[in-house]
Amino acid sequence: MVNIFTIALLSTFVFVGTNNFLLVQIVTAQPVKQVNQARPINSAVKIYPANNNLPASRLITIESAIKKSSNMRITEAKLITYQEFTAQTGAYTSAISSNRMVWIVTGFVLGELRMSKGRSICTNNAKLVELIDAETGDTFGRSIYCLPSNQINFLP
């Protein structure tokens, strides 16, 4: 009987001691600084401010713009403001200032045009229009136009 009483008393002592220890830890604990804080959704979006007042020496050359589009036969390359581009196409991105200088590079891809996953979208003479930032050389986008007779439809 003494053994059961001693074991019960010892168990109670350990339980109470542990609870007191944890309670002291909770009350005196300092807040933990979060290392990987969540970023706002828009924080990864790069903003391109106006640069139409920069001298031509600060912009990439036509040769550099064409080199970025080396996989096509170039038919036209022109330097315009983003506002002129949006007026022509209707496309608009708020992260790009309307007074940002851009290169519009137009050309054709002879033969079959394949996308990054290997799917082809056009069997011959796809027309490509690339929008390239004139200051940084970043590519803003690419439009692909394919004649209906050369277009490959992937939808079932």
Window from 2-11, 113-122, 123-132 with minimum mean pLDDT: 2-11
Please indicate, yes or no, if residue 17 is contained in any of the structural domains: no
Please indicate, yes or no, if residue 50 is contained in any of the structural domains: no
pLDDT tens digits, residue range 129-141? 999 999 999 999 9
Percent of the chain's residues with pLDDT above 70? 65
Average pLDDT over residues 100-125: 84
Measuring CA to CA, which residue among 94, 72, 71 is closest to residue 83? 94
Q: How many residues does the chain have?
A: 156
Window from 22-31, 42-51, 68-77 with minimum mean pLDDT: 22-31
H or E element that contains 145:
strand 139-145
Judged by phi (left if over 0) then psi (alpha if -120 to 50, else beta), residue 118 lies in: left
Q: Using an 8 Å Cβ cutoff, are 107 and 74 in contact?
A: yes
Number of folded domains that form the chain: 1
Which value, in Å, is the radius of gyration of the alpha carbons in the chain?
Answer: 32
Question: Distance between CA 133 and CA 153 in Å, rounded?
Answer: 32
Please indicate, yes or no, if residue 83 is contained in any of the structural domains: yes
pLDDT tens digits, residue range 55-76? 999 999 999 999 987 678 999 9
Helix, strand, coil: what percent of the chain each, to 5?
Answer: 35, 25, 40
Q: Is the pLDDT of residue 121 over 60?
A: yes
12-15-20-23 Cα dihedral, nearest 10 degrees: -140
Please indicate, yes or no, if residue 45 is contained in any of the structural domains: no
Q: Which has more pLDDT, 46 or 102?
A: 102
Please indicate, yes or no, if residue 39 is contained in any of the structural domains: no
Please indicate, yes or no, if residue 32 is contained in any of the structural domains: no
Question: Distance between CA 146 and CA 106 in Å, rounded?
Answer: 13
Structural tokens at position 60: 């990439």
Please indicate, yes or no, if residue 8 is contained in any of the structural domains: no
Domain interval for residue 67 = 56-150
Per-residue pLDDT band for 35 (boundaries 50, 70, 90) equals very low
Please indicate, yes or no, if residue 91 is contained in any of the structural domains: yes
